[in-house]
Amino acid sequence: MTYSWKFKLFAGLTERFGSTVLEVSLEQSSYTTVQLKQRLCESFPQQAASLSSCYIAANMQYCIDEQIIMMDQELALLPPVSGGERGNDSKPQDEASISKFVITNDSINTESVMNKVITPAYGATLLFVGTTREFTGEMRTISLDYECYEPMAIATMQQIGQEIAERWHGADCAITHRIGSVGLAEISVVIAVATAHRDDCYEASRYAIERLKQIVPIWKKEIWEDGFEWKGHQQGPWKPTENLNR
């Protein structure tokens, strides 16, 4: 007897497999993460290198090595993210919390993001604004194309907000990320952080963008004059299940 497993695919994996869903028949209905990745590599040897660098997400949570994964969970194969975004996690969320973490196909208004965190309780507010630059080394970029796993992306952005509030004593955070095509000098991501004091604000703002690049499942395609490339994590081995040091 075999069991039918289904995995959502994103970014370069979608192009490699020619589909947004990977279906494979396996001998068991549950595996550890390590076992499941090994079975997938054996089933698709030509894509083994790409699959081995991926993380498996079950019910919108990154899976650690010895975690048991069941075939009836919502499963996704996530290639290394490039950082920078709708959805739900398993915890109740109020409307104000949801509105602070946004994905949009439209241009981002930086002031509207900043206004989500400015209150009389804070004395310092910083904005991080990410834009499309023209050159990466000698390669001239025409535009960027962003894709994301929306439900999990929003959940991980909310996680970043919670981590910041815990590390910097109630600090507030709002993140808006654009998806789709983003042209030269256009804004792709805005992060607003507010704290009581400026030193904490600088630290928390840096933490927010680095954490976003580490755990939020968003992928970036760099489109050049003569081709394109999906850009993944570029800061050493991708380890989204590890915490950043303050």
Q: Mean of the per-residue pLDDT values for the chain?
A: 90
CATH no. for residue 167?
Answer: 3.90.1170.40
- Last residue in a domain, options 25, 44, 78: 78
Element (DSSP H or E) covering residue 178: strand 172-178
Q: 214 and 120: one domain? A: yes
Residues 150, 116, single domain; the answer is yes
DSSP H or E stretch at residue 201: helix 198-215
Our measurement of the distance from residue 226's CA atom to the centroid of its chain's CA atoms, rounded to an integer in Å, reads 27
Mean pLDDT of 32-36: 98
Question: Which of 48, 78, 108 represents a domain boundary (last residue)?
Answer: 78
How far is the C-alpha of 124 from the C-alpha of 227, rounded, in Å? 43
What is the average pLDDT across 32-45? Answer: 97
* The predicted structure's pLDDT at residue 139: 87
**Same domain for 129 and 74:** no
Pairing of strands 139-148, 218-224: antiparallel
Complete DSSP assignment for 93-126: --HHHHHTEEEESSPP-HHHHHHTT--TT-SEEE
Quick: pLDDT tens for 205-240: 999 999 999 999 999 999 998 899 988 766 667 889
- Report the distance separating Cα 85 and Cα 3, nearest Å: 32
Quick check: 98 pLDDT over 80? no
**Burial class of residue 167 in the structure, from the number of CB atoms within 10 Å of its CB (0-12 exposed, 13-18 middle, 19+ buried):** middle
29 and 144 housed in the same domain: no
For residues 25 and 106, membership in a common domain is answered with no
Q: For the chain, what is the domain count?
A: 2
Cα–Cα distance measured from residue 114 to residue 112, given in angstroms and rounded to the nearest whole number: 5
Where does the pLDDT of residue 5 fall: very low under 50, low under 70, confident under 90, or very high at 90 and above? Answer: very high
**Structural domain span for residue 59:** 3-78
The verdict on 113 and 183 lying in the same domain is: yes
In a domain, 241, yes or no: no
Q: Give the global pTM.
A: 0.84
Handedness of CA 83, 84, 88, 90 (dihedral sign): positive
Is the same domain home to 63 and 111?
A: no
Same domain, 53 and 110: no
Residue 94 has a pLDDT of: 46
Q: Which of 78, 105, 130 delimits the end of a domain?
A: 78
**124-131 sheet: strands from edge to edge:** 101-104, 172-178, 187-195, 124-131
**pLDDT (tens digit, 9 = 90+) per residue, 61-97?**
999 999 999 999 999 999 998 743 333 333 344 444 4
The pLDDT-based confidence of 50 (bands split at 50, 70, 90) is very high
Residue 5: burial class (beta carbons within 10 Å; 0-12, 13-18, 19+): buried
